[in-house]
């Protein structure tokens, strides 16, 4: 858990950071991964920490509608506006809001984020 103070108010943000060691899947079991190397210079246990600006893709989604395959293809993250920043970009916490989308940009549910690693370091 981290605390961030802004002006006269204090915000408490909870959740583990998402990193390259995190296991993320779409609601139908497809694997979610950054489309390219995360842009952040921060690492956790040697894995780069992605930000909300990084593009995430989904592979192996088996979602169908009426027998027609409609797989999840991308994930869009919506970080808290008072969230944790790295290089001015919002990092992803296990609790960060997100949705998986089909190729036609139809929302298909939130991704599932499992275990995150712990130790923080910088490049």
E strand or H helix at 64: strand 64-65
Q: Are 51 and 86 in contact (CB under 8 A)?
A: yes
Indicate the pLDDT class of residue 81, thresholds 50, 70 and 90.
Answer: confident
Question: 94 pLDDT band (50/70/90 cuts)?
Answer: confident
Domain regions of the chain by residue span: 2-122
Q: Residue 47: what pLDDT?
A: 82
Q: CA–CA distance from 92 to each of 40, 86, 110 (Å)?
A: 11, 10, 14
The confidence score (pLDDT) of residue 74 equals 97
Burial bucket for residue 61 (CB in 10 Å: 0-12, 13-18, 19+) = buried
pLDDT digits (tens, 9 = 90+) for 49-79: 888 888 999 999 999 999 999 999 999 999 9
pLDDT digits (tens, 9 = 90+) for 6-61: 444 444 556 788 887 889 999 999 999 988 877 777 887 888 888 888 899 999 99
Q: 3-state class of 113 per DSSP? A: strand
- Tell me the pTM: 0.78
**Which residues neighbour 83 within 8 Å (Cβ) at sequence distance 6 or greater?**
13, 90, 91, 93, 96
- Structure tokens that stand for 16 in this block: 């583990």
């Amino acid at each position: 858990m981290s605390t961030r103070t802004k002006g006269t108010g204090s915000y408490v943000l909870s959740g583990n950071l998402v990193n390259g060691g995190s296991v993320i899947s779409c609601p139908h079991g497809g694997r979610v991964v950054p489309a390219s190397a995360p842009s952040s210079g921060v690492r956790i246990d040697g894995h780069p920490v992605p930000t909300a600006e990084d593009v995430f893709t989904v592979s192996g989604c088996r979602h169908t509608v009426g027998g027609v395959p409609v797989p999840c293809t991308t994930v869009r993250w919506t970080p808290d506006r008072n969230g944790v920043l790295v290089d001015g970009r919002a990092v992803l916490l296990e609790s960060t809001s997100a949705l998986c989308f089909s190729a036609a940009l139809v929302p298909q549910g939130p991704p599932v984020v499992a275990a995150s690693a712990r130790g923080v370091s910088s490049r």
